[in-house]
Amino acid sequence: MRVGIMTSGGDCPGLNAVIRGAVLNGIKSHDQEYLGFLDGWRGLLQGEFMNLERSMVRGISKQGGTILGTSRTHPFDHPEGGVDGVAAALDRHQLDGLVAIGGEGTLAGAKRLADAGLPIVGVPKTIDNDLGGTDYTFGFDTAVQTGTEAIDRLRTTGESHHRCMVAEVMGRHAGWIALHTGMAAGAHAVLIPEQKVTMAQIAEWVGDAEDRGRAPLVVVAEGFVPEDAEEVHTPLGLDRHGRKRLGGIGDRLAPLIEDMTGIETRCTTLGHIQRGGTPTAFDRVLATRMGMGAADMVADGDWGRMVALTGTDIHRVPLEAALESLKTVPQHRYDEAALLFG
């Protein structure tokens, strides 16, 4: 059986472990051979690939990034794409199946193609942990670990200077990374897109921490919007006209906090640091098991579905499970964390 595999969308620690898991299980259990397409759908449609022999995946699960490269090319936007284009590419390479590793956009494209009868399985991927259908996505644990280490460092410099430190982490639509890094690092406030919080409340948490002699630590997800501050009311660093502007929400919050509390405040945006580097052991294991599960699905011809973690087990769920609704932070998880604020 010839199988294509590709990584698509933003990168994520653990992608190489998925590739290794699929290739090793495919070779050992199912007599599969793997072609790795470069830069996601682009490589598939333009015929750029590498043969993934066993030796090619040796030791890669600890490497960050993806040995295949990735891109945000969408199969339905590419000139040679669409159902016919992808079907022709699968034919050209004599592929019996395709493993698409990616986030919402990739899995939505994979679903349309699978609905049209193409032999595709999915592996869900995002550091944001906001895809439905799976309890966790690989990459999230690494992003939280990286964020926590960075915030621990911000705390010591903040304490030395008696400053308030604001750390902006990723999370456009869901605040999982902020919630977990904030809890792990002992933040005095965690601000996430799911929760409406006023500037007065933020200033109160910061002031309370300072009153107790602490250097206030605020963790904010990039998609957070304060309830009442007009000047920071444009999420994602976009202005009202949708144009990119410098500085994310953290940079815009810091001067407001300083004005309201009188405490000198600095912001650090962690940005893509959270996506880079070596995956944690948890992510390596999860990603490896997902890759192995994908090879099993291909062997069974179980098209149009993806691997998912339910509890501690890898299951198979329809691709739409990831797409139906965004997995956001539930109220009780925020309330639990908020007990520790201030």
Annotated binding site for Mg(2+): 104
> Least CB distance from residue 174 to ligand F6P, whole Å?
9
**Residues annotated as binding site?**
10, 72-73, 103-106, 126-128, 163, 170-172, 222, 266, 272-275
Stretch that binds ligand F6P, among 105-113, 122-130, 200-208, 289-297 (CB under 6 A): 122-130
Stretch that binds ligand F6P, among 91-99, 126-134, 144-152, 297-305 (CB under 6 A): 126-134
Would you give the distance in Å from CA 163 to the centre of its chain?
30
Under the binding rule (CB under 6 A), the answer on residue 194 touching ligand F6P is no
How many Å apart are CA 60 and CA 329, to the nearest integer?
32
In the list 39, 128, 168, 194, the residue contacting ligand F6P (rule: CB under 6 A) is: 128
> Least CB distance from residue 222 to ligand F6P, whole Å?
6
- What is the pairing mode between strands 164-169 and 217-221? parallel
How many Å apart are CA 28 and CA 36, to the nearest integer?
18
Give Rg (Cα) of the chain. 22
Under the binding rule (CB under 6 A), the answer on residue 172 touching ligand F6P is yes
Q: Which of residues 91-120 bind ligand F6P (CB under 6 A)?
A: 103
Stretch that binds ligand F6P, among 18-26, 58-66, 164-172, 299-307 (CB under 6 A): 164-172
> Least CB distance from residue 170 to ligand F6P, whole Å?
3
Give the CB-nearest residue to ligand F6P: 170
Under the binding rule (CB under 6 A), the answer on residue 170 touching ligand F6P is yes
> Least CB distance from residue 137 to ligand F6P, whole Å?
10
Q: Is 128 a catalytic residue?
A: yes
Instruction: Go through 153-164 and write b for each residue having 16 or more CB atoms within 10 A of its CB, e for each that does not.
Output: ebbeebeeeebb
The Cα-based distances of 66 to 22, 26, 201, 286, 320 in angstroms read 14, 19, 42, 16, 25
Closer Cβ to ligand F6P, 258 or 283, answer by number: 283
Under the binding rule (CB under 6 A), the answer on residue 127 touching ligand F6P is yes
Under the binding rule (CB under 6 A), the answer on residue 10 touching ligand F6P is yes
> Least CB distance from residue 326 to ligand F6P, whole Å?
11
**Residues annotated as binding site for substrate?**
126-128, 163, 170-172, 222, 266, 272-275
Q: Which of residues 200-239 bind ligand F6P (CB under 6 A)?
A: 222
Q: What angle do CA 333, 334, 337 make, to 5 degrees?
A: 90
For residue 25 the two structure tokens come to: 């299980």
How many Å apart are CA 15 and CA 138, to the nearest integer?
8
Closer Cβ to ligand F6P, 276 or 318, answer by number: 276
Q: Which of 11, 39, 128, 141 is catalytic?
A: 128
Under the binding rule (CB under 6 A), the answer on residue 126 touching ligand F6P is yes
Q: For ligand F6P, how many residues bind (rule: CB under 6 A)?
A: 10
Under the binding rule (CB under 6 A), the answer on residue 139 touching ligand F6P is no
Stretch that binds ligand F6P, among 78-86, 91-99, 169-177, 332-340 (CB under 6 A): 169-177
For residue 75 the two structure tokens come to: 């199969």
- What is the pairing mode between strands 189-191 and 217-221? parallel
> Least CB distance from residue 104 to ligand F6P, whole Å?
8
For residue 321 the two structure tokens come to: 């499970």
Active site residues: 128
Residues that bind ligand F6P (CB under 6 A): 10, 103, 126-128, 170-172, 222, 275
